Amino acid sequence: MELFDNHKKLFGTAALFFVGLTVLVAVMPAIRNQNMNQPLPGAEPLSPDAIKGKALFVANGCVACHTQQVRNIDMDKTWGSRPSLAADYADIHRTDLWRNTATLMGTERTGPDLTDIGNRQPSKDWNLVHLYNPRIVVKESIMPAYPWLFAVKKEPSKSDVVVNVPSEYLDGQEGKVVATRDAMYLIAYLQSLKQTKLPDGTAAPAFLYKKEEKKTAGAAAGAEPDGQAIFTANCQSCHQANGEGLPGAFPPLKGSSVVLGDNLEMYVDIIMNGYDAKAEFGVMPPVGTNMQFTEHEVAALINYERTSWGNNGKKVTPEEVKKIVDFVKLKAAE
Amino acid sequence: MKSNKSLKLLPLFLTGMLMNAFPTLAQDDAPSHFSFSYAGALTWVLFSILFVVFLAALVLKQKVKNIRNSRKRKTEEEQQRQLQQHLRNLNSKQIGEIINYKKRRSSNVLLPLLLIAVSSLVPVGKLLAQETGKPAGSLLGETGILITIVLLLIPILFAIIFLITKVVHALDQTKKRHKLEEAEKLAAYLRSLPEEEIDTQLKKRKAALDYSLTNRELSGNQAPEDEKGLLQINDQAGLPIVALKKKALPRPNVDPALSRLILWYLGCATFWLLFGTTIGEYVGIKFVAPDADHVSWLSFGRLRPVHTNAVFWGWASLGMLGLGYYVVPRVSNTKLANIKYGWYALWLINAAVILGSICLMAGINNGGGEYREYIWPVMLLFAAGIVMTLVIFLQTIARRTTKEIYISNWYIVAAIIFAIVITLVAYIPYWQNGLGETIVQGYYMHQGVGMWFMLFTLGIVYYFLPQQLNKPIYSYSLGILAFWTQILFYTLIGTHHFVFSSIPWWLQTVAIVGSAGMAIPVIAGTTNFIMTFKGAWYKIKDSYTLPFFLVGVIFYFTGSMQGTAEAFRSTNLIWHFTDFTVAHSHLTMYGIICFFLWAGIYAVIPRLTGKEAPQITIGAHFWLALVGLMFYTVPLMYGSTLKGLLWMEGKPFIDGVIKMAPYWLWRAIGGSLMWLSHLFFAYNMYKMMVAKPVVDVRETAIQKLNGPTASTHSIV
C-alpha cells in the first residue's frame, strides 16, 4: 500500500491522527474548562502567607500522598461536606515563569485528603507538633517529619512560636523547638484550605454510590453508630487513643470533669462548637458541626468517652442529646 | 470402552451444570446496579476451574484404571499365552542372548527393579482437590475484580496442568514397574525352556532375523572424511552449573562508530537504572521506617519524583533509544544518517536527568503533576534530545534500501513524534489554568507511558523477538491493527486517573470507554508475539534472552488488561488513590518495559562487542527481578483492596494505614530483590562491554604466526 511504503505519508498520517485526537480529548476540553469555570462568589483568595505556604507544599512534594479533591462518591464524605466542583479550582493559575499551575488534585491518598483540612483540623498547635514529627500525635503515621522547618533555641524570644515537642523526639538536642517562618507559612496554607460554601439556593451535587441499606436498616433496628470509630476518626489525633491527650497541647479525656460531669449541655456544646477556655491547651475546632454529627453519633461518642480508659460515667440516649444538639446549634447560629 | 462412554456423557453433564449455575446465581445475587451477566462471568470463572480439575480427574481415573487392569490376577492359561506371545516376538539379539545364557547356565541377567514412591501420589491428589475452593461475595460481581481474578487464575491453571503432567509421569513410572515385573516372569519362563526347543525353534528364528544386507552394496571401503566441516567435537566439555544456552552470533558488519554510540546509550541507561531504583528502594523503605532520615533533600515527597523521573527519562528512555539506534538503520538496511546528533541527544538527555534530579531534591518542581515534575527548562533539554533523534531516524528511513518500512520503525518513529507532541501539550501554558491543568495532566502522564514507552518498546520487540527466534513475525497485519487501534484508544484514556473528580463526566466516560477499547491492540499484540513463539517454544530453554521476552509478553497482556479493569467506575471506588496504582505501574513499567529492554540489551550487546555475560549472573538477574516483582506487586494489590474496602465502609483513615503496614513491608522486600537484580544486570553490562575476554589460545597463536602487522579480529 502506498501509505505504508511512503514514510512521509505514513508518519504524517499517524501524527495527524494523534494530534487530532489530542486536540479533541485534551486541548479543547482543557481550554473549555479553563474559560468556562469561574470561582465561587464566596471563594477567598490565598493570603500572601498562604501563597508562600503553598509553594512549600509544592516544593516538598506533599501532593505525592495528599489529594485535594472530594469525589462525588459516598466514601469521600469524610473529606468534605460536598463534592469538589470545577469552580473550586477555577482560580488557580500558573505559579510563575518556571512553574506550572498547581491544582494539587493528586492521584494517591497515602495520607488524608486536604480539601477541607482548614475546617477539619484548624488547630495551629496540633499542626505544628504534627509537622515536627507526625508520630508525636499519631503513633501509626508514616508521614515524613519536617524538623528542618523548625529551629531549636535555648532561650526563645517572646515573638517565637514555641512548639511543645516531647523530649524523646528531640534527638538529644537541648532547648525549645521554635517554628520557623516557613512552618508558619505552611500552616497558614493548610488553615486556608476550606471548602467554599455554595451560594444560597444552589444545591451541591449528590454523593453517589451510597450504602443506603445499611444506614436506614441500622437506624430502624435501633443499632447505634460505633462510638469508638467516631472517636478514632475525629478525636484521637489530639486526645490520643489512651484518652490521656498530650501534656501542654491537648487535654486528657480520661478522668476529665467535662466528660464525667453533670453538665451535658456544655459537653455537647464543646463537641459541636469547639472550645477555647484554657490557656495551657490548644483551641478545639467545632468538630461536630464540621462533620455534621447526628444526635446518634454524638450520643455514641459521649457513651464511648464516658466508658473508656477507666472512665465510668452515666450513659446518655440520643433523645436526650437531640434536644441539646438543637439548642447549641441555635446558640452557635446567634 | 467404558471410558469412551463417560467421555460422551461429559458434554451432557457440563451443559447440565451450566444450566443449573446461571439461574441459581441470578437469584442469589443481591439486587444491585451490576447487571446479571457479571454474575454469569463469575460462573464462567468457577466453571472453567471446575472444568480443568474435572478433566484432570478424568485423565487420572483412566490412568489408574489402566494400571489396575494390568495388575489384575490373570489365569494360568492367560499367562501362558502371554509368555508364548513374548517368545514369538523376540528379536535376534535377544534370542542370541538366550542361547548364550542357556549355554553358560548362569542366572544373573535380570535388571534390578526400580523403586517408585507411590505414596507421593496421595498428597498430589489432595492438592488438586483443594483448587476448587474459592471465596464468594458481592465483590466478585464486579467486572474489574473478575478480570483481575481471571488474570491471576491463568498462572494457577497452568500450575494445575503442570501438576497433572507430574502425576501422569508418576503413574507412568508405576506402569513401568509392572512391565518390569512381567519381564521377570518372562525371564523365569525362558530359564525353564528345554534345550531342544531352543535348537529347533529359536535358532532357526534367529538365523531368519539375522539376515541383512551388508550396507556396502552402494559404497566403497574407505574411511569417511568431513570435507565440509560439518562436525565439531569438543573433547573438553565439563559439567555446567547452569544450563548451557546458545551463544550470541557476532555481527562483524556493525559500524564501530554506531556500536560505540549504542553502548554509551545502554551504559548510561544502566547507570540511571541503578540510581533510580536505589532511590526507589529507599523511598519504599520509608513506608516502613518513616524516620530513617530527617534531611530535607532526602524526604519522601522530594525523592519520589526523583525515582520515577530517573527511571523514566534516564533508564527506560535511554535504553529504548540505544536499542532504537540499532534497530532503525538495520531494518532500513542502511547506515545511520547522522551519528553526531545521536551523541548530542545522549548528552542532552543525561543533562536533563541530572539537572532534573538535583532540582527536585532542592525543592524546585513544576507543580506536582506526576512525571511532569521537571520544570520546563529541564524538560526542554530532554525534548531537544528526542527531536534530534527524530531527525536522524527520519533521515535514515528516507535513505532506506528496502521498499517497505518495517513495522518496528512505525512504532519507534511514531513513539518519538508522539512524545514530542505530548511534551508540548503538557508544557505549553495556554490551557493550564484551573481544571485545564488536571485534564492535561491526565492526558500527559498516560500518553507518556503508553505512547512513548509502550509504543517504542513494541517497536523494539517487533525487531528483536523474530530475530532471537530466527523466524519472521507471525502477522504483519496484526501489528498494523495494533498500531492504529493503540493510537485510537490510548489517546482517549488519560482522564481515567480522575474518575469521580470534577472533570466533566463525559470526559471520564470517554476515558473509560477508551480503556476498554485497549483490549483490541493488547490482544492483537499478544497474539502476534505468542504465535511467533509457536513452534519455537523449545528455543526458550536454549536462550537467555527469550525468557525475558516471554515474561514481557505475559505482563504485556496481564498488566495492560489490568489497566482496563482498573478504569471502570466500580473498581475505581475500591482501588483509586490506593497503592493498587503503584502495583499496576510496576507490573507494566517493570514487567513489560524493563523486561523487554533487558531482552533487547542482552541480545544486542554481544553482537556489538563479541563478549557475553556469564550465564549464571544473567539467570540471577532474571529470577531476582521476576520474583522481586511478584513480591512487590501481589501484596500491594491485596493490601490496597482491603484498604479500599475499609474506606468504603467509612472506617477511620488511620485504620487503612495500619492495615497496609505488613504489605508495605513485603513491598520493601520485593523491591530489595529487584534492586539486587539490577546489581547483577550492571555486572553483566560490565562483562559484556568492558571486561577483557579470556585469551583464546588458538586465536592468539594464529595472530602470532601472522606477526604484529596483522589486524586483530576485534569487532569494536
Residue A82 lies in a domain: yes
User: How far is it, in rounded angstroms, from Cα A300 to Cα A230?
Assistant: 8
pLDDT of residue B228: 83
Chain B positions in Cβ-Cβ contact with residue A58 (cut-off 8 Å): 365, 367-368
Q: What are phi and psi of A176, to 5 degrees?
A: -105, 145
pLDDT of residue B31: 39
Residue B16 lies in a domain: yes
For residues B392 and B342, is the Cβ–Cβ distance under 8 A?
A: yes
Interface test with A, best of B408, B430, B431 (most A CBs within 10 A): B431
If asked whether residues A55 and A159 sit together in one domain, one would say yes
Between B326 and B211, residue with greater pLDDT: B326
Evaluate if residue B2 carries a pLDDT over 80.
no
Residue A260 lies in a domain: yes
Residue B49 lies in a domain: yes
Residue the block writes with cell 469521580:
B500
If asked whether residues B205 and B346 sit together in one domain, one would say no
pLDDT of residue B140: 67
If asked whether residues A111 and A217 sit together in one domain, one would say no
If asked whether residues A187 and A226 sit together in one domain, one would say no
DSSP helix/strand/coil, B436: helix
pLDDT of residue B13: 43
Which residue in the set A25, A145, A229 is minimally distant from B291, CB to CB?
Answer: A145
Residue A224 lies in a domain: yes
In the predicted model, what is the mean pLDDT of residues A188-205?
90
Task: Report pLDDT digits (tens) over A58-73.
Answer: 999 999 999 999 999 9
Residue A26 lies in a domain: no
Per-residue DSSP letters for B674-701?
HHHHHHHHHHHHHHHHTSPPPP-HHHHH
Evaluate if residue B677 carries a pLDDT over 60.
yes
Chain A positions in Cβ-Cβ contact with residue B440 (cut-off 8 Å): 26-27, 30
For residues B479 and B407, is the Cβ–Cβ distance under 8 A?
A: yes
If asked whether residues B172 and B288 sit together in one domain, one would say no
Length of chain B: 716
Among B210, B233, B267, where does a domain finish?
Answer: B210
If asked whether residues B292 and B169 sit together in one domain, one would say no
Q: How many domains does chain A have?
A: 2
In the predicted model, what is the mean pLDDT of residues B65-88?
74
The dihedral formed by the CA atoms of A114, A120, A124 and A129, expressed in degrees to the nearest 10: -70
ipTM metric: 0.85
Residue B129's pLDDT band (cuts 50, 70, 90): very low
Interface test with A, best of B390, B425, B435, B645 (most A CBs within 10 A): B435
Residue A300 lies in a domain: yes
pLDDT of residue A212: 59
If asked whether residues A246 and A314 sit together in one domain, one would say yes
Chain A positions in Cβ-Cβ contact with residue B294 (cut-off 8 Å): 145, 147-148
CB contact under 8 Å between B366 and A69, yes or no, is no
User: Which percentage of chain B shows pLDDT scores above 90?
Assistant: 58
Sign of CA dihedral A130, A133, A136, A142: positive
Which residues sit opposite A108 in a β-bridge? B577
Residue B19's pLDDT band (cuts 50, 70, 90): very low
CB contact under 8 Å between B435 and A34, yes or no, is yes
Which residue in the set B294, B369, B443 is minimally distant from A26, CB to CB?
Answer: B443
To the nearest whole angstrom, how far is the Cα of A334 from the nearest Cα of chain B?
32
Task: Report pLDDT digits (tens) over A129-150.
Answer: 999 999 998 989 999 999 999 9
pLDDT of residue B267: 97
Evaluate if residue B571 carries a pLDDT over 90.
yes
**What DSSP character marks residue B217?**
S
pLDDT of residue A200: 82
In the predicted model, what is the mean pLDDT of residues B702-709?
73
User: How far is it, in rounded angstroms, from Cα B113 to Cα B92?
Assistant: 25
- Nearest-by-CA chain A residue for B487: A18
Residue B337 lies in a domain: yes
If asked whether residues B270 and B169 sit together in one domain, one would say no
pLDDT of residue B220: 74
CB pairs A-B closer than 8 Å: 268
Residue B716's pLDDT band (cuts 50, 70, 90): very low
Which residues sit opposite B108 in a β-bridge? none
pLDDT of residue A317: 82
If asked whether residues A53 and A186 sit together in one domain, one would say yes
pLDDT of residue B15: 42
Domain extent, residue A315, equals 212-333
Domain holding B610: CATH number? Answer: 1.20.210.10
Residue B221 lies in a domain: no
Evaluate if residue A289 carries a pLDDT over 70.
yes
Contacts of B483 (CB under 8 A, 6+ apart): A14, B407, B410, B411, B414, B521
**Grid cell listed for B106:** 548362569
Residue A238 lies in a domain: yes
User: How far is it, in rounded angstroms, from Cα B657 to Cα B635?
Assistant: 14
Between B173 and B348, residue with greater pLDDT: B348
Domain extent, residue B602, equals 259-699
| Residue among B511, B516, B355, B509 at smallest CA distance from B441 | B511
To the nearest whole angstrom, how far is the Cα of B8 from the nearest Cα of chain A?
48
pLDDT of residue B401: 94
Residue B70's pLDDT band (cuts 50, 70, 90): low
Which residues sit opposite B593 in a β-bridge? none
CB contact under 8 Å between B368 and A17, yes or no, is no
The dihedral formed by the CA atoms of A194, A122, A183 and B354, expressed in degrees to the nearest 10: -40
Quick one: A289 exposed, middle or buried, by C-beta within 10 A (0-12, 13-18, 19+)? middle
pLDDT of residue B346: 97
pLDDT of residue A183: 96
Between A301 and B426, residue with greater pLDDT: B426
**What DSSP character marks residue A64?**
G
Residue A25 lies in a domain: no
User: How far is it, in rounded angstroms, from Cα A190 to Cα A167?
Assistant: 26
If asked whether residues B180 and B268 sit together in one domain, one would say no
Q: Which of A168-172, A244-248, A315-319, B195-199 has the lowest mean pLDDT?
A: B195-199
- Nearest-by-CA chain B residue for A10: B410
If asked whether residues B53 and B181 sit together in one domain, one would say yes
Residue B222 lies in a domain: no
pLDDT of residue A123: 84
Evaluate if residue B714 carries a pLDDT over 50.
no
Distance spanning both ends of chain B, measured CA to CA: 68
Task: Report pLDDT digits (tens) over B307-332.
Answer: 999 999 999 999 999 999 999 999 99
Mean pLDDT of chain A: 87
Residue B122's pLDDT band (cuts 50, 70, 90): very low
If asked whether residues A218 and A116 sit together in one domain, one would say no
Q: Which of B54-68, B393-407, B409-423 has the lowest mean pLDDT?
A: B54-68
Which residue in the set B360, B405, B511 is minimally distant from A5, CB to CB?
Answer: B405
User: Which percentage of chain B shows pLDDT scores above 70?
Assistant: 85
User: How far is it, in rounded angstroms, from Cα B437 to Cα B640?
Assistant: 28
Residue the block writes with cell 487420572:
B60
If asked whether residues A76 and A150 sit together in one domain, one would say yes
If asked whether residues A120 and A245 sit together in one domain, one would say no
Per-residue DSSP letters for A288-306?
HHHTT--HHHHHHHHHHHH
In the predicted model, what is the mean pLDDT of residues A308-313?
85
CB contact under 8 Å between A105 and B501, yes or no, is yes
Q: Which of B49-53, B135-139, B263-267 has the lowest mean pLDDT?
A: B135-139
Task: Report pLDDT digits (tens) over A36-56.
Answer: 999 998 899 999 999 999 999
Per-residue DSSP letters for B222-249?
SPP--TT------TT----SS---PPPP
Q: Which of A1-15, A93-107, A220-234, B359-373 has the lowest mean pLDDT?
A: A220-234
Q: How many domains does chain B have?
A: 2
Among A131, A164, A192, where does a domain finish?
Answer: A192
To the nearest whole angstrom, how far is the Cα of A175 from the nearest Cα of chain B?
19
Among B141, B176, B210, where does a domain finish?
Answer: B210
If asked whether residues A188 and A269 sit together in one domain, one would say no
Evaluate if residue B214 carries a pLDDT over 50.
yes
Q: Is any Cβ of chain B less than 8 angstroms from the Cβ of A197?
A: no
Domain holding A141: CATH number? Answer: 1.10.760.10
Task: Report pLDDT digits (tens) over B465-491.
Answer: 999 999 999 999 999 999 999 999 999
If asked whether residues B280 and B133 sit together in one domain, one would say no
If asked whether residues B296 and B395 sit together in one domain, one would say yes
Between A216 and B326, residue with greater pLDDT: B326
CB contact under 8 Å between A232 and B502, yes or no, is no
If asked whether residues A295 and A186 sit together in one domain, one would say no
User: How far is it, in rounded angstroms, from Cα B677 to Cα B684?
Assistant: 10
If asked whether residues B312 and B459 sit together in one domain, one would say yes
Residue B714 lies in a domain: no
Task: Report pLDDT digits (tens) over B392-408.
Answer: 999 999 999 999 999 99
If asked whether residues B502 and B407 sit together in one domain, one would say yes
User: How far is it, in rounded angstroms, from Cα A123 to Cα A187?
Assistant: 10
If asked whether residues B631 and B490 sit together in one domain, one would say yes
Residue B147 lies in a domain: yes
In the predicted model, what is the mean pLDDT of residues B128-153?
62
Residue A31 lies in a domain: no
Among B170, B188, B210, where does a domain finish?
Answer: B210
CB contact under 8 Å between A61 and B291, yes or no, is no
**What DSSP character marks residue A203?**
P
H or E element that contains A177: strand A176-179
Residue B182 lies in a domain: yes
Mean pLDDT of chain B: 84
If asked whether residues B198 and B263 sit together in one domain, one would say no
Evaluate if residue B7 carries a pLDDT over 50.
no
Residue A8's pLDDT band (cuts 50, 70, 90): very high
Evaluate if residue B271 carries a pLDDT over 60.
yes
If asked whether residues A165 and A94 sit together in one domain, one would say yes
| Residue among A77, A67, A68 at smallest CA distance from A210 | A77
Evaluate if residue B88 carries a pLDDT over 70.
yes
Chain B positions in Cβ-Cβ contact with residue A109 (cut-off 8 Å): 577-578
pLDDT of residue B138: 64
